[in-house]
């Protein structure tokens, strides 16, 4: 079974631009979560999607948004990029969403975003 895939793997943008990152979960997984990893702040939860609905949200500004499609693929968008948005963005998928007991999250390799 193929793992979680994220595209692109590397991205360079300039301040003020917007960016869209894509995540394809493991086949059959319906929950997708996004995390931001930076040297200063570490790993921080962005949001979780299940059945095209955002179920949980972390403490990030409204510039960070996401969505999930009917095939469970997810995208996250960052508008008006700032230098501090440079990070590794990780996506994780699991069979079901919050509220259904423990569901192991499987992480993708991440998209490394550099904002110049």
Partner 1 sequence: AQSVTQLDSQVPVFEEAPVELRCNYSSSVSVYLFWYVQYPNQGLQLLLKYLSGSTLVESINGFEAEFNKSQTSFHLRKPSVHISDTAEYFCAVSNTGFQKLVFGTGTRLLVSP
Contacts of 61 (CB under 8 A, 6+ apart): none
Q: Is 90 in the site for partner 1 (CB under 8 A)?
A: yes
Q: Cβ of residue 80: shortest distance to partner 1, in angstroms?
A: 25
Token code pair at residue 58 = 């972390």
49-86 burial, b at 16+ Cβ within 10 Å, e below that, comes to: bbeeeeeeeeebeeebbbebeeebbbbbebeebeeebb
31 counts as binding partner 1 under rule CB under 8 A? yes
| Contact yes or no for 17/114 (Cβ under 8 A) | no
Q: Helix, strand, coil: what percent of the chain each, to 5?
A: 5, 50, 45
Q: Does 66 bind partner 1 (CB under 8 A)?
A: no
Which region, judged by CB under 8 A, interacts with partner 1, from 13-21, 38-46, 67-75, 78-86? 38-46
Query: Which residue among 19, 25, 29, 48 contacts partner 1 (CB under 8 A)?
Result: 48
We find the least distance from the C-beta atom of residue 24 to partner 1, in angstroms, to be 13
Task: Return the residue of 43, 52, 63, 69 that touches partner 1, per CB under 8 A.
Answer: 43
62 binds partner 1 (CB under 8 A): no
Residues binding partner 1 (CB under 8 A): 4, 31, 33, 35, 42-45, 48, 55-56, 58, 90, 92, 94, 97-110
């Amino acid at each position: 079974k193929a793992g979680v895939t994220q595209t692109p793997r590397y991205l360079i943008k300039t301040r003020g631009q917007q960016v869209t990152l894509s995540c394809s979960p493991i086949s059959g997984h319906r929950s997708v979560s996004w995390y931001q990893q930076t040297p200063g702040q570490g790993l921080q939860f962005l949001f979780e999607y299940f059945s095209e609905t955002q179920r949980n949200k972390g403490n990030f500004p409204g510039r960070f948004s996401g969505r999930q499609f009917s095939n469970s693929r997810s995208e996250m968008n960052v508008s008006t990029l700032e230098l501090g948005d440079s990070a590794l963005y990780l996506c994780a998928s699991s069979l079901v969403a919050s509220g259904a007991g423990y569901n192991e999250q499987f992480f993708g390799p991440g998209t490394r975003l550099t904002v110049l």
